[in-house]
């Protein structure tokens, strides 16, 4: 698997969040290695991610509403390759 293939889910997450939420800060980390052998973990990774995001569109939302907005932006990935997504909303 090439490096670009290994990062394809991460890049897809980044692209969708940028398109839908226009973040001023975005960090996406593949932490699948921490879940090796657990349910939902795939041998090649790309199943468990941590997202830290700061965006004006999330600023006035409750924590639950902000998480829903992030989940909605990547909904198709949550239905497919992503098993778990940990979200941290960066508040100004």
Q: What's the pLDDT tens digit per position in 64-83?
A: 999 999 999 999 999 988 88
CATH of residue 53? 3.30.300.90
Tens digit of each residue's pLDDT (9 = 90 or more) over 22-68: 999 999 999 987 756 666 666 667 888 999 999 999 999 999 999 99
Determine the structural domain holding residue 79 and report its residue range: 3-89
Distance of CA 81 to the CA centre of its chain: 11
Two tokens, residue 7: 């990062």
pLDDT, mean of residues 1-20: 80
Contact call for residues 57 and 69 (beta carbons, < 8 A):
yes
Q: How many domains, the chain?
A: 1
| The overall pTM is greater than 0.75 | yes
Residues 6+ apart with CB under 8 A from 53: 17, 21, 23, 25, 26, 27, 70, 87, 88, 89, 90
Q: CA-to-CA distance for 80 and 84, rounded, in angstroms? A: 11
């Amino acid at each position: 698997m090439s490096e670009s293939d290994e990062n394809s889910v991460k890049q897809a997450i980044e692209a969708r969040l940028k398109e839908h939420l226009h973040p001023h800060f975005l960090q996406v980390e593949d932490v699948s290695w921490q879940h090796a052998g657990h349910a939902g973990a795939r041998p090649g990774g790309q199943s468990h991610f941590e997202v830290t995001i700061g965006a004006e569109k999330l600023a006035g939302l409750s924590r639950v509403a902000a998480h829903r907005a992030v989940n909605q932006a990547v909904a198709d990935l949550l239905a497919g390759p992503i098993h778990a997504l940990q979200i941290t909303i960066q508040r100004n």
